[in-house]
Amino acid sequence: MLKGKVAIVTGAVRGIGFGIAKKFAENECNIVMNVHREIEEYEEGPRNIETIKRLGVKYLVVKADVSDSGQVANLVKKTVDTFGKIDILVNNAAFAPRPKSILDIPEEEWDKALSVNLKGPFLLSKEVLPYMKKVRYGKIINISAASGITPLITDAHYNSSKAALNMLTKDMALEFAPFNINVNCICPGIIVTELVESLVPKGMDKAAFFEAFSKNAAPMQRVGYPEDIGNAALFLASDSANYITGEVIVVGGGVPLFRATPPGAHQ
């Protein structure tokens, strides 16, 4: 489905990012895996890189802070120098702070949420779009959150950054549609990843948290997994989605826009 294509996936070594990278690689897409730290600093890093290697595609691992314009430019340059093109960009890297009252959010934490979750996709897209525009082809997929549509309580900095990313998606889609560039957004519901598990309230069993939340909020009565997001990203990155742009798609098992509050959110 993506044979011979080249995709940059940010935050690609674990969680949703790895789920997307793996799904792309399974479909013969060459992968540029952006990481924020050295691979060895991620518990699952070496294992996940080996998984991509076994799939037989070409891959490149590039360390870069997506909120730093210089490092972003270097990431894109290394991609073009190695592969000669960029067909797909997945802006997945994110900062998800622990939920807290607006009154308790430190200014630096607010700034980091906006810097990574909004500025990062802006910088990456700004660097990649000229290459896509030149060949009149490209797919950009922003990974947002369902809470960017209807917020979870005590998560204002994260919610706000993702809501803004949804609008950035529409802005880019509108401007670059004449160049055959599709820009869409996936809003995951509760997806079981290492990052989300770290946000489970202290003292609460992780399995109990996910079970309670899924029964309380998701009509499908289950949580999601990275491969669920990978499947949606694969479709949007493929030519099957050539007439879809500017869409914000919730992939959350029918979760009713997070009207339910996750257990322990007020603690």
**E strands of the chain, at which residues?**
6-9, 30-35, 59-63, 88-91, 138-143, 181-188, 248-251
pLDDT, one tens digit per residue, over 24-73 is 999 999 999 999 988 888 888 899 999 999 999 999 999 999 999 999 99
Q: What is the pLDDT of residue 52?
A: 97
Catalytic residues: 158
Question: CA angle, corner 230, sides to 229 and 234, nearest 5?
Answer: 120
pLDDT, one tens digit per residue, over 176-185 is 999 999 999 9
Is the pLDDT confidence value at 264 over 80?
no
pLDDT, one tens digit per residue, over 230-254 is 999 999 999 999 999 999 999 988 8
Alpha helix ranges (H) inside 55-106: 69-83
Domain ranges of the chain: 6-200+225-251
Under the banding of pLDDT at 50, 70 and 90, the label for residue 189 is confident
Percent of the chain exceeding pLDDT 90 equals: 72
Least confident of 86-95, 133-142, 258-267: 258-267
What CATH code would you report for 6-200+225-251? 3.40.50.720
Is the pLDDT confidence value at 213 over 80?
no
- In angstroms, what CA-CA distances link 197 with 162, 194, 207, 263? 19, 5, 9, 13
Q: What is the pLDDT of residue 60?
A: 97
Contact 27, 1 (CB under 8 A): yes
Arithmetic mean of pLDDT, 226-230: 97
pTM of the model: 0.91
Q: At what angle do helices 107-114 and 156-176 cross, to 10 degrees?
A: 30
Contact 205, 248 (CB under 8 A): no
Q: Which is more confidently placed, 224 or 244?
A: 244
